[in-house]
Amino acid sequence: MFHDLHPFFADHPVLLAPMAGVTDEAFRTLCAEQGACLCYTEMVSSKALSYANEKTRHLLALAPGEELVAVQLFGHEPDTMAQQAAWVEEVLGERLAYLDINMGCPARKIAGKGDGSALMKNPELAAAIVRAVNKAARGPVTVKFRRGWTEGEETAVAFAREMERAGASAVTVHGRYAQQFYRGRADWGVIARVCEAVDIPVVGNGDVASGADAVRMREETGCAAVMIGRGAEGNPWIFAQARAALAGDSEPALPTPSERIAMARRHARLLAARDARAVVRMRKHAMWYTTGMPRAAEVRERFNHCSTVEEFDAAFDAVLDNVAEYEQWQRDHGYPVPWERAGA
């Protein structure tokens, strides 16, 4: 099995980050259509997989036509991680690009159990996990982590070197400390420092919200690929923007409110097709899709009570009514409509 990921990232420069409760097959479908070169699953518990937990195994379900995916596992027991890594490879076969190990999630319910970013406090255990998974897996193994655990104490460079020695084929660095959660700005300088310290590819992550951001991250850090997480929430178009910008091409126009609502309606239907109960996941997505639209706050309250596609459709109709009212007011008073001024 080919473990040098430099050529892979040269062909796959823009990635969708793993996000719990977000990057299910419905969202991955939309992001891939808009240009995400590779999408990650939601992070998957190795312990739950070892118990044959069907709810957890469902996280590995691929969308129709999804030919390649990265799977992120979390846990802190080397043997369990290794066993479940081998099982995931067996189940997904050639559709698995590589296995990623989560050593960056700062959530208390994860790190509090010794998983995720808590492993940055124990580099020896982290390395043992990578060695065990690497031995059990046929394909590449990568690691995602943060700038460090304690705010102000950067350990990412030393940690990256340790992961490389343990057999990681690539690392992804998020430019915040675990104790920061998502406060403040991501420091891209640490990504550059890790790039200089290791020979394996480094993926940059943190605060990429536009095509220009993707270009700036690559130029400032030298990273092999750019990973986008929260910037894609309610905005799968960011991948088309990033790919165009990285290629030196003109970026596509930003979507109009009508286009955003059309995407939201499709998203709701994809969720419902997956599982009628899963459509409640659309509540947070609906809020993201309508961010910045006129009178969005009042409609957000309505989203919180939607449980069916039909209820979401009615709420989206109300959003479009608000948009039309706003546009008319702007024109009546001689003001430009922002999205029309942007060429949409």
Q: According to the annotation, is 230 in a ligand binding site?
A: yes
Q: According to the annotation, is 229 in a ligand binding site?
A: yes
- 31 catalytically annotated: no
Q: According to the annotation, is 55 in a ligand binding site?
A: no
Q: According to the annotation, is 252 in a ligand binding site?
A: no
In angstroms, the CA 234 to CA 102 distance is 24
Q: Which of 31, 39, 105, 223 is catalytic?
A: 105
Question: Pairing mode, if any, of strands 38-39 and 69-74?
Answer: unpaired
- Answer left, alpha or beta for residue 318, where phi above 0 means left and psi between -120 and 50 means alpha: alpha
3-state secondary structure the chain: CCCCCHHHHHHCCEEECCCCCCCCHHHHHHHHHCCCCEEECCCEEHHHHHCCCHHHHHHHCCCCCCCCEEEEEECCCHHHHHHHHHHHHHHHHHHEEEEEEEECCCCHHHHCCCCHHHHHHCHHHHHHHHHHHHHHCCCCEEEEEEEECCCCCCCHHHHHHHHHHHCCCEEEEEEEEHHHCCCCCCCCHHHHHHHHHCCCCEEEECCCCCHHHHHHHHHHHCCCEEEECHHHCCCCCHHHHHHHHHCCCCCCCCCCHHHHHHHHHHHHHHHHHHCHHHHHHHHHHHHHHCCCCCCHHHHHHHHCCCCCHHHHHHHHHHHHHHHHHHHHHHHHCCCCCHHHHCCC
- Indicate the residue type of 219: E
Q: How far is CA 270 from the centre of its chain?
A: 18
* Residues with a known catalytic role: 105
Q: Show binding-site residues.
A: 18-20, 72, 144, 174, 229-230
Q: Which residues are annotated as a binding site for FMN?
A: 18-20, 72, 144, 174, 229-230
